[in-house]
Amino acid sequence: MKYPITLTVNGQQHSLEVEPTKLLVDILRYDLGLTGTKEGCSVGVCGACTVLMDDAIVSSCLTLGVAANGKAVVTVEGLAQNEELLPIQQAFIDHGGFQCGICTPGQVVAAKALLDINPNPTEAEIKDWMLGNLCRCTGYYKIIESIQAAAGQKA
């Protein structure tokens, strides 16, 4: 049986009918065409599917669409405004904070959420916050450097 839900995604409201087991990551990717959010491990560990839901980072692979009913979701596509990258996005480019790019949307969304509540995090705070976002290419130094570079700017 399908259930009606309303989601606000990147500021735009969507009304959908979904099976109770349909995952937010699948709604974003298949129903709304927002393929920036990636699905990696599918068990809430790797962080590739990180999105903001009512300003809090969550694993969209563990979030049911029905449970997101009425919530405001922000994906990586919703960060840049008028094609202008956020400082945290530009910093990932400038500091080589990615290689293959699969983990990057999740990294960037998680880093933005950190800078929103803590504009000048210490390295320890960055590591603590970001430990749930795995990267299999870069190692983590470039990611930490990117976040440090963006810190203090308007993110």
Partner 1 sequence: MDYLAPTTLAEVFDALDKYGEDARLMAGGTGLVNMIKQRLVAPECLINISGLAGQYGQVRPEATALTIGALVTQRHMETSAVIRDFSPLLADTYHRVATIRIRNAATVGGGLAHGDPSQDPPVSLSVLRARVRLAGRSGVREVELDDFLKDYYETDVRPGEVLTEVVLPAAPARSGSVYMKFLPRTADDYATVSVAALVALADDGKTCREARVTLGAVGTTVIRATAAEDLLRGQVLTDEAIRAAAATVPAAVDPLTDYRGSADYKRDMTEVWTRRALTEALARAQQATA
According to CB under 8 A, which residues from 54 to 93 bind partner 1?
A: 56-59, 62-64, 66-67, 69
1 binds partner 1 (CB under 8 A): yes
- Window of 15-23, 30-38, 80-88, 90-98 that interacts with partner 1 by CB under 8 A: 15-23
Round to whole Å and give the CA distance between 112 and 75: 11
| Least distance in angstroms from the C-beta of 66 to partner 1 | 5
For partner 1, which stretch binds (CB under 8 A), given 30-38, 75-83, 97-105, 129-137?
Answer: 129-137
Does position 144 interact with partner 1 (CB under 8 A)? The reply is: no
Contact 32, 65 (CB under 8 A): no
Altogether, the residues listed in the chain come to a count of 155
User: Comparing C-alpha atoms, which of 102, 89, 97, 103 is closest to residue 141?
Assistant: 97
Which residues from 102-121 bind partner 1, rule CB under 8 A? 110
Q: Distance between CA atoms of 73 and 28, rounded to whole angstroms?
A: 10
Q: What does the alpha-carbon distance between residue 59 and residue 67 come to, in Å, rounded to a whole number?
A: 13
- Verify binding: residue 129, partner 1, rule CB under 8 A: yes
Instruction: Please tell me whether residue 81 adopts helix, strand or coil conformation.
Output: strand
Using CB atoms within 10 A of its CB, is residue 11 exposed (0-12), middle (13-18) or buried (19+)? exposed
Least Å distance, CB 71 to partner 1, is 10
| Smallest separation, CB 49 to partner 1 (Å) | 9
Does 99 bind partner 1 (CB under 8 A)? Our answer is: no
Number of CB atoms found within 10 A of residue 70's CB: 10
Q: Which residues bind partner 1 (CB under 8 A)?
A: 1, 3, 19-21, 23, 42-45, 47, 50, 56-59, 62-64, 66-67, 69, 110, 129, 131-132
